[in-house]
Chains A and B, each alone.
Chain A
Amino acid sequence: MKINLWFSIFCMLIFTTSAIAGEGVSKATIDDYRQAKEAVEKLAVSKTGKYAKDIIENTNISVLKAQKAIASGDETLAKQIIEIVKLQMTLADAVAAEREATDRTVVARTELKKLEQRLDNILDGKGDVK
């Protein structure tokens, strides 16, 4: 019976130790988190936020996850999520640049189509309708 009692106490200690481990997230990780969060906030109001709003939203979700991980004292998870957040910001920049380029291409294509139509009209003898 004593053995069972001590085993139970041991297990409880292990469990509780792991449960209060959140208080043990390093300051460096927390700083890293804050920097990442600020960067995401800045990104959200920049041109990237306009073009890659969905990615920013996902990144914000990741920031919340990191916050929770820190709150729960899971430094490893927190670090992983912060790493994800940073990568998502990079992704947001890349997607924003891609979409901006796509928009430009669309605008250019539209202009090209208009010009083609103008030229067709001219060649068909319909006159130059600008």
Chain B
Amino acid sequence: MKKITLTLFTLFFCMVCISPITQAADNANVLLAIENTKTNLRNLVEKSAGSKEYQDDIITAQNYLNLAESEYKKNIGILGNLKDEAEPTIRHYTDMANITVAIVMSRIEKANQIREGEEIDKSILKMKSKIKVFDDKNAEIERFKAESGSTRGTMDSVSKELVALKSENALLKKDIMGKEKTIGDLMGDNKKIKDDLNGIVAQKGVAFVQVQSKLASATKTRDFLVDISKLGQVTRISTAGATVVIPRNYFVKTAKKGPELVPGAEKIAGDIAAVVTKYPEYRLDLKVYGYGTPQKNEDIKATEAMAIVIKKLLLEKGKINASFLDAAGAGTSPALFPKDAGNANRRVEITFTYKTSPL
């Protein structure tokens, strides 16, 4: 019995005594854990910078720490040793406090990261905005380059066209210069021709005028001769004019008192006066011719008297300037007609003489 009792006691003693050895509270480690927790909590408080967002969690951690410290104080023995059974609880509280601190630290860090991320996002936006400016510029430059390329192509085409046009222009200029020279030469020739022509025209003009004048004169002479011929008398034409031979008895007869106008004399005088009036460029020479006997009726004196009578009649009938009408008696001048023509040689000759000879 004694042995059994001793054995049981020994067994119990071992159980009681060995157990504290294996599970003996490590006072220093527990204190260290508490101190570490305190440090962690202090760091957390500093990091939270008084933010209300984390205050509840910080208080919770602080409470866990307080519980740990309280548990520690409660379980300190007389000798200053911590009771074994207290350590898990204390460590539980410190663990809870530390995990709580870690949670809050993580949340703070997350907030920091988010804040930093937002800042970075802002910076990214700014950076992208700056780069976009260059991208836009680059795009614009590319567009300009493309346009420039297109424009360059057009410019090349235009340049080629310009070169061709210049070449054509040079040819045209050369051509024009040649033509201008030709024109100049032609103008010179033309001027010369004009001058020649003007000379010719001038010469021709003079000749024409002369011819015209001559033609007019000839025409008038012809008309004059026609009108003379209409008198129905013998007419003798010469270069100086024309002479109409009229029997003397058509004008006058010899009376006792001298020569007298016969009937019909006025008509013949009127016809002659009409011719003189129509052709004022002619002057008249009137000569009365005698023939045969009696001599006194045919001599110069007698024929002179007859000429005066006839002149007077002509002056009355026509608008004849007396200075252009000469009258004279020729006496018995050589006969114009043969002797057997008899009284035909008794005649009046009226010579129309051109004042400046037209013939």
Binding site for B on A (CB under 8 A): 1, 4-5, 7-9, 11-12, 15, 77, 80, 83-84, 87-88, 90-91, 94-95, 97-98, 101-102, 104-105, 108-109, 111-112, 115-116, 118-119, 122, 128
Contacts and interface: CB of A to CB of B under 8 A. Distances in A.
Contact of A87 (B9, B96, B117): B96
Interface string B181-218: 00000000000000000000000000000000000000
Interface residues of B, number: 38
Contacts of B96: 83-84, 87
B124 A108 contact: yes
5 contacts: A4-B5, A8-B12, A9-B8, A98-B106, A98-B109
Summarize B's interface: helix, strand, loop or mixed.
helix
Nearest to B85: A76
B177 interface: no
Contacts, number: 98
Contacts of A128: 131, 134-135, 138
Interface centre among B4, B107, B110 (most CB of A within 10 A): B110
Nearest to B9: A8
A119 to B, nearest CB: 6
Contacts of A104: 113, 117
Given A8-B5, A109-B120, 15 more contacts: A8-B12, A12-B8, A15-B12, A80-B89, A94-B106, A94-B110, A98-B109, A105-B114, A105-B116, A108-B124, A115-B124, A115-B127, A119-B127, A122-B131, A128-B134
Contacts of A91: 99, 102-103, 106
A1 B110 CA distance: 69
Nearest to B7: A8
B95 A111 contact: no
Contacts of B5: 1, 4-5, 8
B41 to A, nearest CB: 15
Contact of A1 (B2, B102, B107): B2
